Amino acid sequence: MGSSEERVVAVIMVGGPTKGTRFRPLSLNVPKPLFPLGGQPMVQHPIVACKSIPNLVQIYLIGFHEEREFALYVSAISNELRVPVRYLKEDKPHGSAGGLYSFRDYIMEDDPSHIVLLNCDVCSSFPLPDMLEAHKRYGGMGTVLVIKVSAESANQFGELVADPVTNELLHYTEKPETFVSDRINCGVYIFTPDIFTAIQGVFTERKDRANLRRMNSFEALQSATKALPVDYVRLDQDILSPLAGKKKLYTYETLDFWEQIKTPGISLKCSSLYLAQYRYTSPHLLASGDGTKTATIIGDVYIHPSAKVHPSAKIGPNVSISANARIGAGVRLISCIILDDVEIKENAVVIHAIVGWKSSIGKWSRVQAEGDYNAKLGITILGEAVAVEDEVVVVNSIVLPNKTLNVSVHEEIIL
């Protein structure tokens, strides 16, 4: 098949509102995929990465958020990147493979030779063109992106064992209790259309087994595994795991950064990772300044063109400032995400925090945290429209939307 025949369709799984409770309080106001990292919505990073694939013809976002939450974004990004992006809403959760299968007609409409599947809540350099080349060399049905992590942390993920020469996937196990491998599943895959046959196979097998169960009353008494609905098919446990070692699946290893974006704390870390990546891929996005005409900028900083920053402020490293934010004189910002329409008044300090949309930070106030991305209160999070009054200190705390803080707060969750 010549390259002019090859079309690629990308599918990004974006999840839904009831699944994202760990992303509260930020997910109370915005669907997690649209939360900005490095100044761009979370889902935009995989979308832009897909654009770099030769012959990419369509991108689908699949999830169970309400359609209206994505309508504006999808229209704008299709226009901006000149690639069709469309949101498809699942009627109910089908599992990662089930969701892909339920929209196979849309995906196959363009008769693609390859399908790229990505999870939206993954922070990565998404080395898709190289991964696609490797997939073609391997000649299998699917290729899984893997990364090496520490042995201790590996059991939080799916662990993969691969042949060191052929890169064939030999064994896959999800969150094992004992150590299997330090290579883990990054949540990025490339498939040929055979994947749909494989998923179909799981449905058929399930139906057959269900029929068998009805006849075997002893099996009916045993409920060791919670029975899943027939059409709920998980990619990892139900497809990858059984097909490992059958010369159908391969792995491609990335040496770049990778994180799973589960909590607001981790999203601050990922924002910094993307800002650092901009230095190589899109340096024009990063701000610069030396305090004379524009504010002093240290390290990687993103400032939206509509934001206003006073020249006497000092910003960075690892700061992202969104649209229409106003940063006053003498403000110091370190390692933080400042969301849209925030006002930060004179001489305030913000360190290791996320400041929610429309919030206001008073003069000489201090909003900070220890900076432990993984701790429950390691990054201070202010929800939408939170007002921190002048001279108030907020440390290691989470504040839900629409609150006014007129006394200092330490190590607390404020509802």
Q: Which residues contact 370 (CB under 8 A, 6 or more apart)?
A: 352, 378, 396
Q: How far apart are CA 210 and CA 313, in angstroms?
A: 66
Residues that bind other proteins (CB under 8 A): 18, 21, 24-25, 28, 398, 400-403, 413, 415
Least distance in angstroms from the C-beta of 398 to other proteins: 7
Beta bridge partners of 172: 160
Which lies closer to other proteins via its Cβ, residue 246 or residue 376?
Answer: 376
**Using N-to-C axis directions, what is the helix angle for 95-102 and 194-215, rounded to 10°?**
120
Which lies closer to other proteins via its Cβ, residue 193 or residue 401?
Answer: 401
Report CA dihedral (250, 93, 262, 23) to the nearest 10 degrees. 170
Distances (CA, A) of 227 to 231, 265, 269, 316: 11, 34, 37, 51
Q: How far apart are CA 398 and CA 292, in angstroms?
A: 35
Least distance in angstroms from the C-beta of 413 to other proteins: 4
Least distance in angstroms from the C-beta of 217 to other proteins: 26
Nearest in space to 100 (alpha carbons), one of 18, 203, 199: 199
Which lies closer to other proteins via its Cβ, residue 329 or residue 414?
Answer: 414
Least distance in angstroms from the C-beta of 386 to other proteins: 11
Which lies closer to other proteins via its Cβ, residue 71 or residue 413?
Answer: 413
Least distance in angstroms from the C-beta of 334 to other proteins: 25
Residue 117's H or E segment, with its range, is strand 114-119
Q: Which residues contact 302 (CB under 8 A, 6 or more apart)?
A: 38, 39, 275, 278, 285, 286, 287, 319, 320, 321
Residue pair 14/103 in contact (Cβ under 8 Å)? The answer is: no
Kindly report the length of the chain: 415
Least distance in angstroms from the C-beta of 402 to other proteins: 4
Which residue type, as a one-letter code, is found at position 389?
Answer: E
Least distance in angstroms from the C-beta of 89 to other proteins: 18
Least distance in angstroms from the C-beta of 38 to other proteins: 25
Which lies closer to other proteins via its Cβ, residue 151 or residue 413?
Answer: 413
Q: How far apart are CA 302 and CA 152, in angstroms?
A: 34
Which lies closer to other proteins via its Cβ, residue 42 or residue 398?
Answer: 398
Which lies closer to other proteins via its Cβ, residue 375 or residue 413?
Answer: 413
Q: How far apart are CA 374 and CA 370, in angstroms?
A: 11
- Count of Cβ atoms closer than 10 Å to residue 216 Cβ: 10
Which lies closer to other proteins via its Cβ, residue 14 or residue 161?
Answer: 14
Structural tokens at position 360: 């206001």
